């Protein structure tokens, strides 16, 4: 009963609009007081949660994303991809998904990918006469690849909470990322032939023009390949990979491309610092709350109930999926990981679920949350960029949301899609 009361009080605070980090900290402090434990240890718990080499990668990836966004490099990449596939029906939609996937391999942030590609792709697709819902849905859903294809900020946080290898989590995201990109591309082509795209696209560019535009995009692709290839080859840790990617990005946009000045760099640093502070507030509050609920044996009670009432791994995944769909309507992805995961983690062993596989499943559900109203961030980013009706954006993402849910079934039926690469390395 006390477990229900504590969780109800927490979600009441969240639904009332209390910031997530503050709500977690206050609830943790209240639980300490009810147990008669002095509050003097809370600052140590709060600050101690930041002492992590893994989490150091988060502000670096955020800074890289903001620099790329302010430098306007998305146009080069999008133009290059479009020159190769833009001649087929639905080619611009295909180019959009592929561009999102490539930028996902640099930024680690879904919102950044939505803003970068959206500013370029939305006007192009609209100009050519694409169905508006199709345009909005493709951008909002394609941008979610930013947190599945490595590097990924949610995967970094998941690795820190579960004490898994960040490199293994990144490698686990490669296979599902490729499969999901493929599924999105298939839908784009089918939808295009069903009236979502104009019958006649602009004719494909000459080969020489293709190569000239591709050379302009080559540095962006090189940065992505260096970061991911360095992790896979064991040359970099994920944090070192983030630092290398940031250095390459700064050299490219400030000295080679010259599309970012010191004022723009300063703005990117300030924005990244603000976002990092918000994330760390959630991390610190979750650590305080997590230690507090251990005193009340909540994770043990829930795992015991699950073991007694849920007899199969499939049923467990289904229940968790429904839970995360509901929470995703109201909570941000990092908060979902930090609030729910400590409670569910003990139950993974009961059903023989690999924590690496579960991490990819969890991030896939966060992707779904990013395009779920009323707080799905990608919806509002695309609405802002396109200056469109939010209803049109929401209706446009419905087919992609169904594809993501189907993806859960595919990963459950074929777990090797997730696990082969981490264990092969």
**Alpha helices per DSSP H over 233-261:** 238-251
**What is the C-alpha separation between 283 and 98, in angstroms, rounded?**
32
CA distance 297 to 132: 50
Cis peptide before 151 (omega within 30 of 0): yes
- Find out whether 150 and 57 touch, Cβ atoms under 8 Å: no
**If you average pLDDT over residues 374-395, what whole number do you get?**
84
* Residue 67 near residue 77, CB atoms below 8 Å: no
Is the CB of residue 398 less than 8 Å from the CB of residue 137? yes
Residue ranges of the alpha helices (H) in 351-414?
A: 355-370, 377-386, 390-413
Cβ neighbours around 138 below 10 Å, total: 33
pLDDT of amino acid 5: 81
Report how far residue 63's alpha carbon sits from residue 69's, in angstroms, rounded to the nearest whole number.
10
pLDDT of residue 1: 62
What is the predicted pLDDT for the residue at 183?
Answer: 96
Q: Give the pLDDT confidence score for residue 323 in this predicted structure.
A: 86
Q: Is the pLDDT of residue 203 over 60?
A: no
Choice between 409 and 350, residue whose per-residue pLDDT is larger: 409
Cis peptide before 37 (omega within 30 of 0): no
Tell me how many helices (H) and strands (E) the chain has. Answer: 20, 0
Nearest Cα residue to 327 out of 62, 30, 115, 20: 20
Averaged confidence pLDDT in the chain: 86
Residue with tokens 């969240």: 14
Task: Give residue 417's pLDDT.
Answer: 96
Local confidence band at 425 (pLDDT 50, 70, 90 cut-offs)? low
Distance CA 254, CA 361 (A): 38
Closest CA to 339 of 366, 375, 305, 361: 366
Structure tokens at 347: 């139950």
Alpha carbons 6 and 2: distance in angstroms, whole number: 6
Q: Cα separation of 268 and 59, whole Å?
A: 11
133 vs 82, more confident: 133
39 contact partners, CB below 8 Å, separation of at least 6: 29, 32, 33
Per-residue pLDDT band for 295 (boundaries 50, 70, 90) equals confident
Compute how many other C-beta atoms are within 10 angstroms of the C-beta atom of residue 390.
15
pLDDT at 408: 94
Other Cβ atoms less than 10 A from the Cβ of 157: the count is 27
pLDDT digits (tens, 9 = 90+) for 156-199: 999 988 889 998 999 999 999 999 999 999 999 999 999 888 87
Q: Is 375's pLDDT higher than 80?
A: no
pLDDT of 358? 96
- Residue pair 130/82 in contact (Cβ under 8 Å)? The answer is no
- Residue 202 pLDDT: 59
pLDDT value of position 177: 94
* Structure-model confidence comparison of residues 243 and 342, the more confident one: 243
Residue tagged 């990005």 (tokens)? 249
Q: Rounded CA gap, 295 and 308, in Å?
A: 22
Mention every residue, 6+ apart, whose C-beta is less than 8 A from residue 5: none
What letter does residue 86 receive in the DSSP assignment? T
Give the H or E element holding residue 135.
helix 132-143
């Amino acid at each position: 009963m006390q477990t229900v009361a504590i969780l109800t009080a927490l979600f009441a605070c969240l639904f009332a609009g209390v910031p997530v980090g503050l709500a977690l900290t206050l609830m943790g402090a209240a639980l300490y007081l009810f147990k008669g434990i002095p509050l003097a240890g809370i600052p140590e718990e709060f600050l101690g949660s930041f002492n992590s080499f893994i989490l150091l990668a988060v502000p670096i990836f955020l800074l890289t994303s903001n620099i790329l966004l302010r430098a306007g490099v998305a146009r080069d990449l999008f133009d290059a991809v479009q020159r190769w596939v833009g001649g087929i029906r639905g080619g611009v939609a295909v180019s959009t998904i592929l561009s999102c996937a490539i930028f996902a391999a640099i930024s680690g942030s879904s919102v950044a990918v939505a803003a970068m590609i959206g500013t370029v792709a939305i006007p192009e697709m609209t100009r050519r006469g694409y169905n508006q819902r199709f345009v909005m849905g493709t951008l909002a859903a394609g941008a979610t690849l930013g947190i599945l294809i490595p590097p990924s900020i949610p995967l970094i946080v998941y690795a820190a909470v579960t004490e898994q290898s960040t490199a293994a989590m990144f490698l686990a995201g490669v296979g599902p990322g490729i499969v999901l990109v493929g599924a999105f591309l298939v839908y784009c082509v089918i939808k295009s032939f069903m009236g979502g795209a104009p019958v006649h696209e602009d004719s494909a560019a000459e080969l020489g023009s293709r190569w000239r535009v591709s050379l302009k995009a080559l540095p962006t692709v090189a940065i992505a390949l260096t970061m991911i290839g360095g992790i896979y080859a064991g040359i970099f840790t994920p944090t070192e990979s983030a630092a290398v990617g940031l250095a390459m990005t700064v050299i490219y946009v400030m000295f080679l491309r010259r599309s970012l000045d010191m004022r723009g760099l300063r703005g990117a640093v300030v924005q990244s610092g603000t976002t990092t502070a918000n994330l760390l507030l959630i991390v610190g509050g979750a650590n305080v709350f997590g230690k507090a609920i251990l005193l009340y044996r909540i994770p043990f009670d829930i795992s015991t109930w699950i073991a007694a009432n849920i007899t199969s791994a499939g049923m467990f995944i289904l229940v968790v999926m429904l839970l995360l769909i509901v929470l995703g309507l109201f909570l941000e992805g990092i908060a979902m990981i930090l609030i729910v995961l400590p409670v569910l983690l003990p139950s993974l062993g009961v059903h023989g679920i690999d924590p690496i596989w579960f991490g990819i499943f969890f991030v896939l559900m966060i992707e779904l949350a990013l395009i779920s109203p009323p707080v799905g961030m990608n919806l509002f980013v695309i609405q802002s960029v396109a200056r469109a009706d939010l209803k049109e954006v929401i209706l446009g993402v419905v087919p992609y949301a169904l594809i993501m849910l189907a993806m859960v079934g595919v990963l459950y039926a074929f777990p090797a899609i997730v696990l082969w690469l981490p264990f092969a390395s």
